Structure 1
Amino acid sequence: MIKRLISYFENQSLKRKLLEFFLMVSMIPAILLGFFSYNISSNLEKERRIDETIYQLNNIKEKVTELLKEKELVAIRFYLNRNVSEVLQNFNNIDYNSHEVLVDSGNENNSEIIKKVFELKKMLFDNKFIENTHSIYIISNNGYVFTSDINPIYEPEYILDILSDDIPRDGRNYNWGNIREFGEYKVIPLIRLIKDKSNKNTIGFVLLNIEEKALYNIYSQDLKNISDSIVILNQKNNIVSCNDKRLLGKSFEEVYSLKDGFPSKSGYFTSKINKTEYIFIYSSDETNGWKYVGVMPLSKITASSNNIKKITMILIFGSIVLCILISIFVTSRVTKPIEKLSDIMDSAESGNLDVDFSPRYNDEIGRLARSYNNMVERLRISIQEIFYIQNKKREAEYRALEFQINPHFLYNTLSSIIWLTNKGEKESVINMANSLSNLFRISISKGRDMITIREELEHVRNYLEIQKIRYSNQFNYIFDIDPDILDCYTIKIILQPLVENAIYHGIREKDVDGLITITARNEDNKKIIIEVTDNGGNITWEQINNINSYLKKGDNEGNHGIGLRNVNERIKYYFGKSYGLCLDKKDNNTVARIELPILREVNKNVQHFSSRR
Structure 2
Amino acid sequence: MKQDTTRKYFLPYGFKLMFSYFLFVLIPVIVVGWAAYDSSINSIREQTRENLQGTLGQIRDNIQYRSEGEKRISDQIYFDNKIQGLLRYFENGWIGYELMKEYLMPTLSNAVHMSNIPVLLKVYIDNKVIPEIYNDQNPQFDPLRFVDYEILHMDRLKNEAWFKNLKLPEESYRGTEFVWQQVENDEEFHNISLIRRLMDINQKKQIGLTRTIVRLSDLIDAVDYRKIGESSKIFLLDGEGRTIKASGSNSPKSFENEVGISDHLMISESLPGLNWKLVALIPNSLLEKSAKKVRNLTILVCLISSFILFIIGMLVSNYFSKRVRKIVTSLNAFKEGDFHKRLFFSGNDEFTQIADAFNKMGENTDELIKEVYLANILKKEAELESLQAQINPHFLYNTLSSISRLAKFGEIDKLHEMVMGLAKFYRLTLNDGRLIISVNKELEQVKTYIDIQQIKYRDRLHVGYEFQTDVFGFDTVKLILQPFVENALEHALFSHSINLRITACLVGAAIEFKIIDDGIGMNQQTIDQIFTRDGIHVGYGIRNVDERIKLQYGPNYGVQLFSRLGIGTCVRITIPAVKEAK
Give the TM-score normalised by structure 1. 0.42
Give the TM-score normalised by structure 2. 0.44
